[in-house]
Chain A
Amino acid sequence: MMMCKEATRLMSLRQDRPLTFQERLSLRLHLAMCGACRECDRQFTLLHGVGRRFGPAEDDEPPASSS
């Protein structure tokens, strides 16, 4: 069973490269059970958007973050 520390590694990784099927599955399973990690995941996704502050919104739209 994956624990929070490992789950945060995958949450971070998925901001940088697509997860493998196996990684995606174990992360989803963990997130379904862990509220603290769901918050963490939301925050990593938010941090992924901080670049927007420096570019005008018109053409610096980040890719959709839904998984």
Chain B
Amino acid sequence: MDDKAHRQERLAAVRPRLVSFALMHLRDRSQAEDAVQEAMVSALEKHDSFAGRSGYETWVFGILKYKILDAMRAQKRQGRWQPLADENDDEAIDRLFQQNGRWQPEARPQSWGEPEAAFENERFWQVFDACMIALPDSAARIFSLRELMGLSTEEICRELGIKENNCWVMLHRARLRLRACIEQGWLEGDAS
């Protein structure tokens, strides 16, 4: 097998993970596919600049990150989403706590067992994906930029043109919602 075919095969193997990564950020299947397509073309064209310092996959993901940020900026320009659109969406969070700030009895976090074992479990990721889709748009995007893309809140704010405080507030809500949703799906499945 020649070198080029080998590279294409390697890329094809990573593709599903690239698409699911892009989908978490862009929340639109066809835009996610487009971003991945562009990243794969760039990866093939720029192969010579792959220095082998990092792993190949890491390098490809790095290219995809730029494509995602470009696409996200375009979505924002076109008014397809607004970073602070669900900022006042407090109700779901308020329902988790009593007036005095303690957990509602039914919302008290339960143990998920050995945390690291969760990552090894395919069902955990099914629940995680479903919960990401269920998150409000902006919460999901900001969570993805922070925890999947690994940007700092400062970078996210610069990117989205919001204040860092908004960022922290939204991440707090996103995490509370996500953990509640995951817990429900994860422990429910255990009982069945």
CB < 8 Å neighbour of B102 from A4, A12, A56, A59: A4
Cβ–Cβ contact A36 & B109, under 8 A = yes
* Stretch from B32-40, B43-51, B171-179 that touches the partner: B171-179
Q: How extensive is the interface on chain A, given as a class?
A: 20 to 34
Cβ–Cβ contact B147 & A50, under 8 A = yes
CB < 8 Å neighbour of A16 from B110, B168, B176: B168
Docked Cα-Cα span, A52 to B148, in Å, equals 8
Q: Which of A31-67 contact B (CB under 8 A)?
A: 36-37, 39-40, 42-56, 58-60
Assess whether B66 is interfacial by the CB under 8 Å rule: no
The residues of A with any CB-CB pair to B shorter than 8 Å are 3-6, 8-9, 12-13, 15-17, 36-37, 39-40, 42-56, 58-60
Cβ–Cβ contact B172 & A3, under 8 A = no
Cβ–Cβ contact B147 & A51, under 8 A = yes
Cβ–Cβ contact A56 & B55, under 8 A = yes
Assess whether B125 is interfacial by the CB under 8 Å rule: yes
Contact with A along B176-189 (1 / 0, CB 8 A): 10110011000000
Cβ–Cβ contact B61 & A47, under 8 A = no
